Homo-oligomer: A and B are copies of this chain.
Amino acid sequence: MKLVLEKAVDFQKSIAAISVLIDEAEFILDENALILKATDPSQISMIDFELSKGSFKEYSVESKMKLGMDLDYLNQIMSRAKSTDMLSLELSEDKSRLIVQFKGASTRRFQVPLIDISSVELPNPKIDFDATVKLKAAVLQDALKDAALISSHVSFGVESDKFFVKANSSKGSLENETKKDDKNLIELNASSPASSMFPLDYLRDMLKVPSGDAEVSIKLKSNAPVELSYSIGAASLTYFLAPRIESE
């Protein structure tokens, strides 16, 4: 098995975005793609990460394999990638370690121990969403900072002409509205209005890595999990997050 990626920083950002929620997980490699699906320890959120074969400069995987990793440690290693580094991933001869090599001005080889994780394959939740919004990450990142002043929970909602974020508590309240004609709102489709309340910390973690300019897609249905997705280079990341069922 050998994978070579032209831009180590794309993989770096992906791992950063995953490890903020997940401590340990298995990468699954088959002939088509590198995949990681996992729930956070509390099982409130789920991540679905995929980097297809075509994104790699070299992709040789003989047979389907699973590589269990301490994602926090892998994230520390990946954070040492420089902007011009190329990344190669190989197994050590005894197959107990992943060799992570950065090649740029100098060559740096890390060996990261693999760990045993007995995981079941997770299906993505099947939800018949009522509304889809595409907007700049900055809108959400800002709204979450606003809401953090008020409460540890936040409502995302869509009406025919706007996307809104609300928070309420004895400390006060927040309403953050982005209208359909706002340049930061790229797409808004709603078969009916939808709104759900979510734990703020999880949303914050999910939106930590993308730059403010990145496009984020949100799918909503009242009192159902939200699907939140974006791309990092050729990698696609999709998050699901369970709602807080009780109404405000």
Q: Which residues of A contact B (CB under 8 A)?
A: 73, 76-77, 80, 82, 97, 105-113, 139, 142-143, 145-146, 149-150, 170-179, 182-184
A9 to chain B, nearest CB (A): 15
Nearest-neighbour CB distance to chain B for A94, whole angstroms, equals 13
Q: Is the CB of A108 within 8 A of B182?
A: no
A182 contacts B139, C-beta separation under 8 Å: no
The answer to whether A173 touches B106 (Cβ under 8 A) is no
Q: How far is A94 from B197 in the complex, measured between Cα atoms in Å?
A: 26
Q: Are A149 and B80 in contact (CB under 8 A)?
A: yes
Q: How far is the CA of A31 from the CA of B62 in the complex (A)?
A: 74
Once the chains bind, are A80 and B145 in contact (CB under 8 Å)? yes
In the complex, chain B residues whose CB is within 8 Å of the CB of A97: 172
Complex CA gap A113/B178 in Å reads 25
Task: Report chain B residues within 8 Å CB of A179.
Answer: 106-107
Q: Are B172 and A105 in contact (CB under 8 A)?
A: no
Q: List 12 A-B contacts (CB under 8 A).
A: A73-B149, A73-B171, A97-B172, A106-B176, A106-B179, A107-B175, A108-B177, A109-B174, A110-B150, A110-B172, A110-B173, A110-B174
Please, which residues of chain B bring their CB within 8 A of the CB of A110? 146, 149-150, 172-174
Contact between B106 and A149, CB atoms less than 8 A apart: no
Q: Is the CB of B183 within 8 A of A111?
A: no
A76–B150 Cα distance when bound, in Å, is 10
Q: Do the beta carbons of B107 and A177 come within 8 Å of each other?
A: yes
What are the residues of chain B within 8 A of A106 when measuring CB–CB?
A: 139, 142-143, 176-179, 182, 184
Contacts of A183 in B (CB 8 A): 105
B105 touches A184 (CB 8 A): yes
Closest partner residue, chain B, to A101 (CB atom): B175
CA A182 to CA B182, docked complex, whole Å: 50
Tell me the complex Cα distance, A76–B176, Å: 16
Report the bound CA distance from A177 to B101 in whole Å: 11
| Besides the known contacts A106-B139, A110-B150, 14 further A-B residue pairs in the complex with CB atoms under 8 A apart | A76-B149, A105-B139, A105-B184, A106-B143, A106-B182, A107-B177, A107-B179, A108-B176, A108-B177, A109-B176, A110-B173, A111-B172, A113-B170, A113-B172
| Bound CA span A113–B184, Å | 31
Give CA–CA (A238, B174) in the complex, Å. Answer: 32
CB <8 Å contact, A146 and B108: yes
